[in-house]
Amino acid sequence: MTVENNLIDSLEIGRKKVEVNMLQYANDTLFLCEANTKSVFNIKAALTCFELCSGLKVNFLKSRIGGLGLDQSTVQKFAAILNFNVMETPFMYLGMLVGGCHKRERFWGGVIDRLEVRLNRWKGRFFFTGRICLIKYILSSIPLFYLSLFNMSYVVANEIVKIQKNFI
């Protein structure tokens, strides 16, 4: 593998400096690496090897590249090497905002909006016990996906609790 041979410079994430270089979900692959030409060329080589070995083709019309904390000219240079489109940051991946500041209330706006949309569909349809079950098992799981990666501020947590209380 290219990471084991130090061909792609992994990112070190968190206090414990965990090395992360790739996330995969279904048929999506998200490469994470340091912003250097060596890593970009080696990602391109890995994608070419994938195409040759599997007989599948990488869809370059759907493939995108973005950089967090990079100037636009560097991202454009890497996009030209990979033949990818450039994406704007922050961006959505699997329903989660990537590249935003999780300490701001605006970052959590999508979660709060989803809670309110769900509740508006259910208003007036359930008795008290049914509403408690909905909050416990469905509404509580929506923020959990974000909480698996980010800490929530007290302001946002109180807003979610307020929405749940108003529903009951």
Using CA atoms, how far apart are residues 61 and 85, in angstroms rounded to an integer? Answer: 7
pLDDT top residue among 147 and 74: 74
Contact 87, 72 (CB under 8 A): no
Query: How far is the C-alpha of 94 from the C-alpha of 48, rounded, in Å?
Result: 25
Q: What percentage of residues in the chain have a pLDDT greater than 70?
A: 92
- Is the per-residue pLDDT at 3 higher than 60? no
Q: How confident is the model at residue 149 (pLDDT cuts 50, 70, 90)?
A: confident
> For the chain, which residues make up each domain, given as ranges?
11-89, 98-167
**25, containing H or E segment:** strand 22-25
Q: Torsion-angle region of residue 55: left (phi > 0), alpha (psi -120 to 50) or beta?
A: left
The answer to whether residue 40 scores a pLDDT higher than 70 is yes
Tokens read off for 50: 């994938």
Return d(Cα 46, Cα 30) in angstroms, integer.
13
